[in-house]
Structure 1
Amino acid sequence: MSEPWQDLKQAAIVATLRMTRLFGGLPPEDLDAVAAITTAVPLEKGQYLFRQGEPARGFYIVQRGAICVHRITPAGKEQVICVFRPGETFAEAALVSPGGYPADARAVEPAQVLRVDKDGFLHLVGRRPELALRMLASMSLHLRTLVGQLEDLGLKDVETRLANWLLRRCPANTKEPVTIQLDVTKRVLAAELGTVSETLSRTLARFREQGLAIAKGRTITVPSPERLRQLLRARLGEPVEPPQAPTPSTCPARTGR
């Protein structure tokens, strides 16, 4: 008979698996089978989960906190690939790669991840082929994220990349002020944008002076998403829509007596 704490641990792992795109919707028996080959790994802020080139022990699911996956460029600069948050999976490609993990992974805040054992999962896939299809779908999602990141880095300057990043987090077509809560440090955000903290701070200061964005602590407020869209269109060389003329008053004109 299992100990009560083991049953609670298993239930917590199953609950996290159920949150993911990869395992959500699986029948209980399959979730239990994956949970049986899954280990919880706590991490302190700044602690590395794995380094580029290390042999793959499995892939991961963020249970709490945030994990920054990045590579070091030949110039010694850290380039963020993606920051993964609770319920997201990463490093699936390492299961079939003979070269080990393709990047570094570090906790940007106190975190806990679940490691799904490589050998155990590959054995499970042999018995449940539908898991392989789910894995392909998950890897395809990561690929789309990378393509989007390459498109962002192709934008000509940091102001354009920051404007694009902010607008992606604003509801479509809204003209009301939007407040964006950062769940990573500004240093990590700067790396995501392909720059450094000092340049990001100067860019945010310029946006504040222009009334485009106001950063305070871990929040950034966009007073007018439409103005930011106009800036982005202009920087991308797209036609800028002229401001709409005010609606004529419907009040009757006053006449002199």
Structure 2
Amino acid sequence: MQDPRAYRACLQGGHWFGALPAALQDALLAAARVQRLDAGQRLFRRGDPPSGLYAVVEGAMRIGAVSAQGKEALLTLIEAPYWFGEVSLFDGQPRTHDAFAEGASTLLLVPQSALLELLERQPQYWRDFALLMSQKLRLAFIALEQMSLLPAAPRLARRLLMIAENYGEGESRRVIHLAQEQLALMLAISRQTTNQILNELQAQGILRLTYGEIEILDLARLRQAASP
């Protein structure tokens, strides 16, 4: 099995991991193990017991929930070098959402027991994990505000910007591997409305639509479109 330390450079491209003390980076990689998922494979389901902290190092993960009637709510689509699963580290409670591999993906898992042992020895590191969680909380508040106050078009543009910037983790990407149906689920707007807004942005030369992908051609003008 591949050594988790082989992914250090990838992870250091992320703002959270890259800012950690070297000793904590070393400890996380020493405790981690590589986990590979096939496309569509479930990592965990809402209600599952906490298993630890994950980092996406290859591929992408879909985070959301499915109702008893089979209706899906897609919250986010995350790619490398994104870390997730920290909420259950703090409260020890079951998982709050479902996580599935969007395509063939590789993760690093730092088991819950290893994290708790590390934090027992080095309690000063709790602040670093709190910063990871506070970043997610900040983004969640922003998304709620946008859902309540913004019309569909600027809300969609802002979400594209957030995804392109990997929710604050790592460098901006120009190609987003995201189907229009998934974007519609994230924003809780109809597929028809999503398609109409995307086609308008494409007609303006701001982006290009291909099957399962959205390529951003003009980031500055997309930022303008994100203004209400």
Q: Distance in 2 between matches of 1:66 and 1:200?
A: 22
Q: Distance in 2 between matches of 1:61 and 1:37?
A: 13
Structure number with bigger Rg: 1
Structure 1 runs of 4+ off > 6 angstroms?
A: 167-170
Q: Distance in 2 between matches of 1:52 and 1:26?
A: 32
Structure 2 unpaired stretches of 5+: 165-172
2:214 alignment partner AA: T
2:180 alignment partner AA: K
SS in 2 for 1:35: helix
State the match for 2:197 in structure 1. Answer: 203
1:38 alignment partner AA: A
State the match for 1:152 in structure 2. Answer: 146
1:53 aligns with 2:47: yes
SS in 2 for 1:201: helix
CA deviation profile, 1:40-79 (whole Å, cap 9, x unmatched): 1111111111100001111100111111211236875322
Q: Distance in 2 between matches of 1:198 and 1:84?
A: 24
State the match for 2:167 in structure 1. Answer: none
State the match for 1:99 in structure 2. Answer: 93
Q: Distance in 1 between matches of 2:120 and 2:11?
A: 19
Task: Point out which structure has higher relative CO (alpha carbons under 8 A, 6+ apart).
Answer: 2
State the match for 1:123 in structure 2. Answer: 117
SS in 2 for 1:154: helix
CA deviation profile, 1:6-64 (whole Å, cap 9, x unmatched): 7x614315445544444434335x44432232111111111111100001111100111
- Give the deviation of 1:151 after TM superposition: 1.9
Which deviates further from its counterpart, 72-81 or 195-204?
72-81
176, 192, 208: which one aligns with 1:215? 208
CA deviation profile, 1:150-188 (whole Å, cap 9, x unmatched): 122224543342244456689xxxxxxxx9422323222
Q: Which has the higher helix share?
A: 2
State the match for 2:170 in structure 1. Answer: none
CA deviation profile, 1:193-232 (whole Å, cap 9, x unmatched): 22343432233234456x3745331234567966984x76
SS in 1 for 2:53: strand
Identical amino acids, percent of aligned pairs: 24
Equivalent residues in 2 for 1:19-58 (5 A)? 19-24=13-18, 25-28=20-23, 30-58=24-52
Structure 1 unpaired stretches of 5+: 1-5, 171-178, 237-257
Q: Distance in 1 between matches of 2:185 and 2:73?
A: 6
State the match for 1:187 in structure 2. Answer: 181
102, 122, 128: which one aligns with 1:108? 102
1:216 alignment partner AA: L
The 1:98/1:184 distance shift into structure 2, 3 A limit, reads same
- Is contact 1:40–1:114 with CA below 8 Å preserved after alignment? yes
Structure 1 vs Structure 2 CA RMSD = 3.3
Q: Distance in 2 between matches of 1:90 and 1:224?
A: 27
Which deviates further from its counterpart, 96-105 or 131-140?
96-105
Q: What TM-score do you get using the length of structure 1 for normalisation? A: 0.70
State the match for 2:127 in structure 1. Answer: 133
How many residues were matched structurally?
218
2:3 alignment partner AA: K
1:105 alignment partner AA: A
Q: Distance in 1 between matches of 2:11 and 2:218?
A: 38
2:72 alignment partner AA: E
SS in 2 for 1:96: helix
